[in-house]
A = this chain, B = another copy of it.
């Protein structure tokens, strides 16, 4: 399908959008259009140090620079090259993160009241998409990794059961890989879902690099998914907040998708951000594999070294794992010493200049990438060795993490969007048992809702939330950011 002949490599050398921007700048244009800073001529003097090189590219939809919402020039060309590189039939650049891609897919697929099968440990944007589409979610609870207690992937048998029980469902929306790097066999999942003739939609926010090196799992597009949303900024090499939406096949209405994207995305999209997608696509085609080749063996070595520290467990994908792929760039550490929890280990590392991706009571997640240097890994290893010196040999089991499976099984007492519009009041978290949540409670990161609006709050949810709160987790979606109080429906 994707023949990498000489013409492919020649085409992929081009960066039509970035080239158009630099070409325009080279003409010393006289700008009588927005933005107001006019290439940096009116800008904070101190800030210019950092911003001066990029501001001339901070342009708008003038002649020759196309229009993201109706692309037929350089943006369309850049998207077409991305589609070729990522093996999609159509690719759309996103300037509002994978958030907008997930929402747009659900609004494209579901009309009000229609059902969609959804992995329960999805990113909050999936829940928000369901609310905006007024769809009816049918949650499928993922398998739990017994080594770490972390929610992993959907089992195919659970998906099949849901497909049979809900023949009117319009799609399956799953996350692959998860925030922690765990993945399922997507090709088999696609075959299964397609037997029921509905599309497989994949939140591939954490898998923009998949398929770009033999040690990495195949991407959603390569596996036959109908649509995939990738945070190119997370594991690829574009700027933060830039993502891509890939589509193939006939199961997605592309016109409606375009209209929804035009509705949700800014009518003044950032050209430097879009250009960074154009550049990232080229960089990934030509340099990703070589850069990965340099750092992956070092990561393997680090994993080996880490296995010598009895107080730290590292996730390893084995025959018996509940997941079938694991992103080699993600280092998920489980804390087995009773003396140090994830937040404390994070603080110790940060004192040493090492900034992790995520801390939870029992875990620490480190996200490496092609931008990680061998020195970074050496530094990390030395820091962990040092911290290790203080760790007693006594191993304890820490309290369950906030992402345990039981946290995903709650009664949807009221439909999600109805709960959002109902009267609400604040109660102490400790006194909320049995009441119905009026808000989405989202520990962040990873941004996976623990409670959705309309769900009944049980003792288990309260216990997990108290634990996260005590650990210093941040909460999105809530009225009280400290989660001392929680919003519940006034009338039950």
Interface residues of A (CB under 8 A from B): 15, 18, 22, 27-47, 49-55, 57-63, 67, 69-70, 72, 95-100, 111-112, 123-125, 128, 131-132, 208-209, 231, 233-241, 255, 259, 262-273, 275-276, 279-280, 282-283, 287, 291, 331, 346, 350, 353-357, 366-373, 376, 379-380, 420-421, 439, 444-445, 447, 474-479, 481
In angstroms, Cα B373 to Cα A131, docked, is 48
In angstroms, Cα B72 to Cα A47, docked, is 23
**A70-B444, A368-B32, A474-B67 known; A99-B27 Cβ under 8 A:** no
**A38-B372, A47-B276 known; A61-B445 Cβ under 8 A:** yes
Give the shortest distance, in Å, between A133 (CB) and chain B (any CB): 10
Closest to A100 in B: B266
**A70-B475, A354-B32 known; A369-B42 Cβ under 8 A:** yes
A–B pairs, 16, beta carbons within 8 Å: A30-B355, A32-B355, A36-B236, A39-B371, A42-B237, A44-B279, A45-B283, A50-B54, A70-B475, A72-B481, A96-B265, A97-B269, A124-B267, A241-B270, A259-B477, A262-B476
Option from B33, B36, B366 in Cβ contact (under 8 Å) with A32: B366
Determine the chain B residues whose CB is within 8 A of the CB of A279 once the complex forms: 43-44, 46-47, 51
| This chain's copy number in the assembly | 2
A380 touches B30 (CB 8 A): yes
Give the shortest distance, in Å, between A259 (CB) and chain B (any CB): 6
A367 touches B34 (CB 8 A): yes
B476 touches A70 (CB 8 A): yes
B481 touches A32 (CB 8 A): no
Determine the chain B residues whose CB is within 8 A of the CB of A53 once the complex forms: 49-54
In angstroms, Cα B36 to Cα A152, docked, is 22
In angstroms, Cα B271 to Cα A97, docked, is 13
In angstroms, Cα B350 to Cα A52, docked, is 24
Give the shortest distance, in Å, between A142 (CB) and chain B (any CB): 20
A241 touches B268 (CB 8 A): yes
In angstroms, Cα B24 to Cα A350, docked, is 11
In angstroms, Cα B355 to Cα A333, docked, is 54
Give the shortest distance, in Å, between A359 (CB) and chain B (any CB): 9
Determine the chain B residues whose CB is within 8 A of the CB of A123 once the complex forms: 267
**A282-B44, A353-B27 known; A237-B22 Cβ under 8 A:** no
In angstroms, Cα B440 to Cα A259, docked, is 9
